[in-house]
Amino acid sequence: METQRPNLLPLLFICFSLRLISAVGESNYSNTTNGTDFIRTSCGATLYPDVCFSSLSRYAAAVGRDPAQLARAAITVSLAKTKHMAAYVSNVSRQADYGAASDPRAAAALHDCFSNFGDAVDEIRGSLRQMRHLDPGVAGAGGESFRFQMSNVQTWMSAALTDQETCTDGFEDVSDGPVKADVIGRANEVKKHTSNALALVNHYAEKAVP
């Protein structure tokens, strides 16, 4: 009677799959670890390193050790924070307009703040769009095209930070109160993210521009 040989293909497939999963897991772990260390070190060059690291560490696997990816991630965070702030100020502004005891100066400051943050959203969005189309490899002789693109990113991020600062400056003549304190407090937090993003953009530009 002929002995039937066992089919080893399923077992071999399982072993191969487990080895592949293990290799992918180790690779992802390595990328995340390297990215985390890189982000921590890079954030040391910003004005708010703790805020920088806490907001960007989640992007460690995607960033790796790529300063361009880190700058894009920082701009993305800044954009999200700025859009959220613009929506918040818009809501507070509407409440101030219809409040029975509305302070005209506070209402005006809120309107201006909403306009400032709206402009900042457009500027940061423009920066992110430009960053996504950067290609140092086709910068050409002397890197003129790349330098021009980076200059746009830096200019827009700087303008966004200025607009955010203009918002808080507009409350100088407004009487102290919970609304003023809350708006300024929230705006200051958003400014930290934008300041950090600008610092990381500047750092990348210094390293990348020939």
> pLDDT tens, 11-57?
555 554 456 454 444 444 445 668 899 999 999 999 999 999 999 99
What's the chain's average pLDDT?
A: 84
- pLDDT per residue over 106-136, tens digit each? 999 999 999 999 999 999 999 999 998 876 5
Look up the CATH superfamily of 37-208.
Invertase/pectin methylesterase inhibitor family protein (1.20.140.40)
How many degrees, rounded to 5, is the angle at CA 193 between CA 68 and CA 62?
35
Distance between CA atoms of residues 93 and 83, nearest Å: 15
Tokens 């929230």 belong to residue: 186
Residue in the block written with tokens 């920082």: 74
pLDDT of residue 139 exceeding 50: no
> pTM of this prediction?
0.81
The string of pLDDT tens digits covering residues 61-102 is 999 999 999 999 999 999 999 999 999 999 998 887 665 446
pLDDT at 18: 54
Sorted by where each begins, the domain ranges of the chain are 37-208
pLDDT at 100: 45
